[in-house]
Each structure stands twice: as structure tokens, then as C-alpha cells.
A and B are shown apart, each in its own frame.
Chain A
């Protein structure tokens, strides 16, 4: 993964790149798999840092806010990410580091630094169906799902909010996966997933992800605001990226135990 990880913190940061668009033989014959592969393989910046605000909103409208500072860097066949929790106060100075690999089947490596224990602990990255910090995003929603893990079909083309979109249905090959299928609306000329619907194991609509705002920064389309709505529980999670800096030359040693312990100093 590259900068994509942070973009995928929005659960599908589908950012397209024009060179890949032109590589398609013909838009008329494009398949669902091709759409997803090109999005997965899109070029992105070498590194990225941003402030992430996550707002959890329950059915009564009560809000809980989490703030995170995060850094991501592409190291070729692996991508490293480090996140520093800024608020609420009881998780401040907690940090989380993730190394993910392009190699299919290789699990991510993850560590967490807990200031209350003053220890960096290795944790298993196997629980991808767990929800991230009580939000409506699972760890797998936030990760970089390989196209080969699903079967993709181009259902139709639609116009959403004035944007021409491909509508792609993805069905997981793994029988026990938490979703029975997903349907994604991808903007044709920008290759951004504008909307995504998640269906549960009983084929009932579970969640809808909607992109609220995106901008082109340093030549890359960056999704800045998104919302995941769990329609069954009427619970929402808004995610907002601010102070996005791309290709600033984040040093390699930012992604080490040393920095997990030091925090944002």
C-alpha cells in the first residue's frame, strides 16, 4: 500500500490516475475486475501525512470525536503507516504502526504502544472484521483489499451527483467473509468510489459509504470527507482529513518503535 492506506481509511479511497485510464483498451469493453484492478494499482504519492477526525454519531445524534495524526510511506513492496492518537484524553499518546505488503497472502505486521504500560506490543492483524475504535469501519474496510479476493461484475453505468459512474458488484470468494457482497459506484474520469453499499451475510443492506468531499492535491485526487452509515443500527461515522501533505519526504525512521514511543514530539 502507499498513500492509499490513508485514503482507504475512508473505506474506499478510489483514486484514479490518468495513465491507467488510457491503458484500458476500450471503456465499452471494460470489466468489473479491470475497474477494481486499475483503482487498486493506481499511482499515488510516495508519502502522506494528515490529521484525521473521526466522529461517531448514534441514532439519537450523540457524538463522540476521535482525532489522529497519521503518516504513511511507500517502501516499494511494503507500505508503512504510523498513527498517533491525539484525543480523547484517555487514549492520548497511544500509537499504532502497521506494515502491509504487496505480496498476496502475507499478513500485515502491527504494533501498538500503550502509554499506560509503556510498552510496544505486537498484535495480531487477523481480526479484520473487528470495528476500528468503535466506528462503523472494520479494519478490513480500512485496509487495502486485493482485487483477487473478490469476483467482480460491472452491473451498469449510472450518473450520481452529476458524475458518470461505473457500478461494480464484488462478491467475496471466502465463504465466511463478513459481507455477502458490495456494490461500488466509481466515477469514470476520476476513478473515485463515490458510494459503496455493503450487504451482510443474509444479503440485507448493512452499510452505505458516501464520499462527501474530495480535492486534487499535488496531482492526486484525495478524498477529504466521507461518511459510513450503518442503516441497520442507524449509526454513522464521519471521517475528515485535514492538513494533508503529500510527498514531503517523511524520513524512513518515522516508522519505528523509537517514534511510537516518542509520539508527536
Chain B
């Protein structure tokens, strides 16, 4: 571990040295240092988070080429130092075409805090959905080509190697435990996707930004970022009792077609986004199924609006996930409805922001409520305090009912 620390610190010092050496050649160095502390409000008030972060952005451009690298360092009190590279890519600009090659975050769609057509960059869910969105998206190695005609854009993305969702670790408070009748055994031998050309992912998007409407139409041939848990059961032939369960996580191919629009109307901005997923796998409780899963087509849609009333920025979204040709044995509901609400207001000449964001799960009557206050003590220096309150006993948010917490963050940007 000490060696890891030394390597990480050595690398960062090298980055800083290179930065200062190249400064004369207009290397742009920016980033932030942040401390985050979270305390659970229940039980023995354990720390939910004790994290120090250093994130650097190194950017340089010369003529029609540019690069960006975003190394980051997470320091925890109870975990190994984590050194990562969120992005590291090269840009080449032509008259009507831009190419981006390397590790990058690609974000599509008009939804806020909901992932519908925004599935290119997989998610880091180690802290559930509580990280800043730029930290939830995992950078992926890709070739991205954009062709521009005025305010119309055609974008093609090729991802040579699959990256799955990063799930919470074994002992994490965010680790969701599926409800099995007996203790299962796991076989992870089929979880990896071999890095071959055949296993690459491709996405395409046509988008336009016009006075009347902004829209995107997209299609993708991808892998499901979340593994399907194939379940093999062994029954006692005499008692017909379940004697063993073997869970085999496996990623499956997925194709999707989707789009999003954003339309201004008076003081409102209306947004919508939707995607049709073909061949998505769902868990089933049907005892006759050999591996406990069913393949179905699936719709994920959103309607939302933004409005400002008495200088309070308001936003509401309704989201529905619908499994087509539904089978009653599927564990997930046929229709799963969620809403989000955001209200925020700035005070003291935009140095103080009071914000309220919430997810509401309508099926399970659960919720995640996130009030927070951010104060800019000086330019680029902010103090944030808030809470993450989980309501309910089941559902996506209710399952974390014991994880209510208060959080404080201090961040210096440079």
C-alpha cells in the first residue's frame, strides 16, 4: 500500500512538474481540491464518507489539434488511495469534422439525473447516485467523430472495449443484496467481455439546435452495462426442496433507438426523452425457467419542464420504464414510475445557493431527498452542506432507508 501511495504521489508530482515546465507553452492547468465528510444519522453515526480529492485538468491546443487529460486522486481514511484517469483524449479539428480519440466521457440526452439515451459512458455507482454527475460517468476509450452542418450534427462513436457499471464494493453501505431463498454461490467466469472487434459497441446520433426546437435521434448497438444474474437451481428430487443456487452474472447485447427534444414556450422549457431497448433481460420468479431470466423489449421515457418563478428555478420530470409483452413472473413491475423535482434559488449576489432535489419512486412510495446549501466564501472556494434522506422501505431509494446522512464538502477550484 505504501508503494501504491508513493507511485500515485510520484505520478502527480510528475504531472505538476510537467505542467510547470510546459507552462511557457500555454499548457492550461486547472482543477480542484475537495474534502467531503458524511455522517450517517442513524445507528452509531458512522462516517458514510471521509474523502479528500485532487482533480487536475491539463489542456493544450495548437492549431487544429488539442489534448486534455483529467487525472484524479481519491484519498480515503479506510481504503487504498485511488488514482484514476477520468479522461485522456486527443482532438483533431477539421473544417466540418471533429475527431476525438482516447478515454472520454460521452453524455447524450436532455434528461437531468436520469439515464435514458445517456448510456454510452457507464456509471460509477459505488456511492449510489450521490456523486457529482461528472464523477458518476466513467470515461471510456472511444473514437468519436462529429460532422457539422451549421447547427446540425451527426455523431458516430465506436467503443472498442466494453466497460461495465462499477458496482459498490462488498462491504459498502450501497451494496444492494438481492433476495435469494438460500445462500447462493456465484460463478463470475462469464462476466468478462473479451476485448475483440466483434465485441465493440457503436452509437450514432443526429442532433440539431434550432430556434424552435433542439432534438437528438440516436441508435446504439451495445452491451447492457448491468449484468443479468442467471440463476441455476438444484432441487432435491425427493423433497422438491431447493438445495443449491448458482448465480452467473453475464452481460448481454442490447440495441436501442431513442431520441430527445427540448422546446421553449413562454417562460417554460419542455423536455422529453425516450428510448426503445431491444432484448433486455429481466429477472423472473418463474420456476419453469432454467436460468431465471426473460428477454423482453423495453421502453424508458421522460417528460419534463423547467420554469423560473419568483427567481426560484423549478424543474420537474416524470419518468416511466415499461416492459413490453410483460410476463407476470418478472420481478420488476411492468410499469415503474419515478418523478424528480428540483427547486433552487440564489441569494447574496449568487454567492449563496439553496437547493432541493428529490427523486420520488411512485411504485414503492420511496424517495431520495437532497436539500443542500452552497456558499461561495471567495471566488472558486465553496462550502457545501446538505443531507441525503432516503424514504420508504423498498424500491430503488427505500432500500437505503438506513443510509440517511448529513454531508459537508469544501472545494477549492483553480
Name A's B-contacting residues (CB within 8 A): 56, 64-65, 87-90, 92, 99, 107, 109, 111, 116-127, 130-131, 133-135, 235, 252-253, 256-258, 262, 265
Mark the stretch among B12-20, B76-84, B148-156 that contacts chain A.
B148-156
Taking a contact as CB atoms under 8 Å apart, the answer to whether B153 and A116 are in contact is no
Among the listed A130, A235, A256, which residue makes an inter-chain contact with B151, where contact means beta carbons less than 8 Å apart? A256
Taking a contact as CB atoms under 8 Å apart, the answer to whether B264 and A134 are in contact is no
Taking a contact as CB atoms under 8 Å apart, the answer to whether B150 and A256 are in contact is yes
CA distance A90 to B150 in the complex (A): 30
Taking a contact as CB atoms under 8 Å apart, the answer to whether B209 and A116 are in contact is no
CA distance A256 to B86 in the complex (A): 26
- Shortest B397–chain A CB gap in Å is 22
Contact residues in A for B350 (Cβ distance below 8 Å):
131, 133-134
Contact residues in B for A87 (Cβ distance below 8 Å):
379
Residues A265 and B311 in contact in the complex (CB < 8 Å), given A92-B30, A122-B214, A256-B209: no
- Shortest A58–chain B CB gap in Å is 8
Among the listed B66, B153, B207, B413, which residue makes an inter-chain contact with A265, where contact means beta carbons less than 8 Å apart? B66
Taking a contact as CB atoms under 8 Å apart, the answer to whether B379 and A65 are in contact is yes
Among the listed A99, A126, A131, which residue makes an inter-chain contact with B266, where contact means beta carbons less than 8 Å apart? A126
Please, what's the 1-or-0 string for B202-216, where 1 marks a CB less than 8 Å from any CB in chain A? 000001010100100
Given pairs A118-B107, A265-B59, 13 additional interface contacts (CB within 8 A): A89-B32, A92-B413, A109-B211, A120-B209, A124-B306, A124-B307, A125-B264, A130-B308, A133-B350, A235-B349, A253-B148, A258-B98, A265-B61
Verify if B321 is at the interface (C-beta below 8 Å from A). no
CA distance A87 to B414 in the complex (A): 9
Verify if B401 is at the interface (C-beta below 8 Å from A). no
Verify if B331 is at the interface (C-beta below 8 Å from A). no
A-facing residues in B393-407 (Cβ within 8 Å) = none
Taking a contact as CB atoms under 8 Å apart, the answer to whether B150 and A88 are in contact is no
Residues A111 and B209 in contact in the complex (CB < 8 Å), given A117-B107, A118-B107, A134-B351: yes
- Shortest A85–chain B CB gap in Å is 12
Residues A90 and B266 in contact in the complex (CB < 8 Å), given A56-B349, A116-B132, A256-B148: no
Contact residues in A for B414 (Cβ distance below 8 Å):
89
CA distance A123 to B269 in the complex (A): 7
Verify if B43 is at the interface (C-beta below 8 Å from A). no
Taking a contact as CB atoms under 8 Å apart, the answer to whether A258 and B380 are in contact is no
- In the complex, the chain B residue whose C-beta lies closest to that of A111 is B209
Taking a contact as CB atoms under 8 Å apart, the answer to whether B133 and A89 are in contact is no
CA distance A118 to B32 in the complex (A): 17
Name which of A111, A119, A262 has the most chain B CB atoms within 10 A of its CB: A119
- In the complex, the chain B residue whose C-beta lies closest to that of A117 is B133
Contact residues in B for A118 (Cβ distance below 8 Å):
105, 107, 134, 137
20 contacts between A and B (CB under 8 A): A88-B413, A90-B376, A90-B411, A90-B413, A111-B209, A117-B107, A117-B133, A119-B107, A120-B214, A124-B267, A126-B267, A126-B308, A127-B267, A130-B311, A134-B346, A252-B150, A256-B148, A257-B209, A258-B98, A265-B61
- In the complex, the chain A residue whose C-beta lies closest to that of B379 is A88
Q: Please classify how large the interface on chain B is, using the bins under 10, 10 to 19, 20 to 34, 35 or more.
A: 35 or more
Contact residues in A for B134 (Cβ distance below 8 Å):
116-118
Residues A122 and B262 in contact in the complex (CB < 8 Å), given A134-B349, A134-B350, A257-B209: yes
Verify if B47 is at the interface (C-beta below 8 Å from A). no
Contact residues in A for B151 (Cβ distance below 8 Å):
256-257
Among the listed A56, A120, A127, A252, which residue makes an inter-chain contact with B311, where contact means beta carbons less than 8 Å apart? A127
Name B's A-contacting residues (CB within 8 A): 30, 32, 59, 61, 66, 91, 93, 98, 105, 107, 110, 132-134, 137, 146, 148, 150-151, 153, 207, 209, 211, 214, 262, 264, 266-269, 306-308, 311, 346, 349-351, 376, 379-380, 382, 411, 413-414
Taking a contact as CB atoms under 8 Å apart, the answer to whether A124 and B380 are in contact is no
Taking a contact as CB atoms under 8 Å apart, the answer to whether A89 and B380 are in contact is yes
Contact residues in A for B66 (Cβ distance below 8 Å):
265
- Shortest A54–chain B CB gap in Å is 12
Among the listed A92, A127, A257, which residue makes an inter-chain contact with B308, where contact means beta carbons less than 8 Å apart? A127
Taking a contact as CB atoms under 8 Å apart, the answer to whether B311 and A99 are in contact is no
- In the complex, the chain B residue whose C-beta lies closest to that of A107 is B264
Contact residues in B for A235 (Cβ distance below 8 Å):
349
Contact residues in A for B93 (Cβ distance below 8 Å):
262
CA distance A127 to B32 in the complex (A): 32
CA distance A130 to B413 in the complex (A): 26
- In the complex, the chain B residue whose C-beta lies closest to that of A256 is B151
Taking a contact as CB atoms under 8 Å apart, the answer to whether A88 and B380 are in contact is yes
Contact residues in A for B308 (Cβ distance below 8 Å):
124, 126-127, 130
- Shortest B102–chain A CB gap in Å is 15
CA distance A56 to B351 in the complex (A): 12
Residues A257 and B413 in contact in the complex (CB < 8 Å), given A87-B379, A124-B267, A124-B308: no
Taking a contact as CB atoms under 8 Å apart, the answer to whether B264 and A109 are in contact is yes
CA distance A262 to B110 in the complex (A): 19
Among the listed B91, B267, B349, B380, which residue makes an inter-chain contact with A131, where contact means beta carbons less than 8 Å apart? B349
- Shortest A144–chain B CB gap in Å is 17
CA distance A50 to B187 in the complex (A): 62
- Shortest A101–chain B CB gap in Å is 8
- In the complex, the chain A residue whose C-beta lies closest to that of B211 is A109
Contact residues in B for A252 (Cβ distance below 8 Å):
150
- In the complex, the chain A residue whose C-beta lies closest to that of B208 is A257
Taking a contact as CB atoms under 8 Å apart, the answer to whether A124 and B150 are in contact is no
- In the complex, the chain A residue whose C-beta lies closest to that of B207 is A257
Taking a contact as CB atoms under 8 Å apart, the answer to whether B150 and A89 are in contact is no
Contact residues in B for A123 (Cβ distance below 8 Å):
269, 306
